[in-house]
Amino acid sequence: MFIVTGAAGFLGSAAVWALNARGITDIVCVDTRPAAEGTANLAPLTYAAYVPHQQWLDAVRRGEWKTRMRAVIHLGACSSTTEQNWDYLRENNLEYSKTVCEAALDAGARFIVASSAATYGNGAQGYSDNHAGLDDLRPLNLYGRSKHEFDLWARDTGRLDQIASLKYFNVYGPNEWHKGDMRSMVCKGYEQIRDTGRVRLFRSDRPEYPDGGQRRDFVYVKDAIAMTMWLLDHPEHNGLFNVGTGESTDWNRLMHAIFAAMNRDPRIEYFDMPAELAKAYQYDTRADMTKLRAAGYNAPVMSVESAVRDYVVNYLVPHAHLQ
């Protein structure tokens, strides 16, 4: 069986969608008991079973899945970058992942886990997925710390050379509606423009960046999942891998792409960044994609304009899900 954790969520449902596109349906979806929004992500997809995450974890600990796991795509976690309960994050993001990783390797299954670009902190050490720089990284929030500590554990126990830990950058695209305030700014910006005709962005506190000129590596979910599936197919390639575009795009360009996809003239307003956010704000992120490309992944990524248009026209306007 293919196990996808976080399957009712954003990346998880996209992984199920990608497996379905290959004709694979022997999938076990693991997640918290889904609310209506989460169920909507899975409704168009085909899978063999849905198992609540604690029930599945308990069964894994009892060894009940040892002979049934072909691959585990572990995307389930608390993804809130503002979560302040470290005990909760340690249990759900770190300890859960360690248990699942050990069980998958013990079963001889391919194990792919979601790390995060949040592990890079303010970017002072760059955005290279080279293992040598792991000790120098300083995540800016507890979510990033939970992901970073798993990567350190996997390295220190020798498991990192047997698994693929993926540092997803700013992923956006269909199936993210349920994420609330953690939705991408493409989704939230579309709604602002639809409802008010304008969009609001943070002012910049740094003179080298104009208002709206703060930059991110925005990666469309279809590209992010294509990279994930490639690593599923290539168990000979292990370790840390960035999942991004390798391009740094400013917020103004991203918003202009949304306006263009909606056939509207751009109207952008800027407002002051909240003080509590400013302390942990990344001004410029760009995934170093050298490692994944050198491993053999050669598919092109969609441009910001093409990806945003696909998202807006085919998913946001009709409120459609991946299917």
Q: Which residues are catalytic?
A: 143, 179
Distance between CA atoms of residues 185 and 92, nearest Å: 26
Q: Which residues contact 296 (CB under 8 A, 6 or more apart)?
A: 234, 237
Q: Which two tokens stand for residue 153?
A: 């554990």
Length in residues, the chain: 323
Residue type, position 223, single letter: D
Residue carrying the six token digits 């003080």: 275
Tokens 């263009």 found at: 260
Contacts of residue 62, Cβ cutoff 8 Å, sequence gap at least 6: none
Which residue in 134, 285, 138 sits closest to 217, CA to CA?
285
Alpha-carbon gap, residue 177 to 27, rounded angstroms: 23
Long-range contact list for 179-184, CB < 8 A, 24+ apart? 179/9, 179/10, 179/79, 182/79, 182/80, 182/81, 184/218
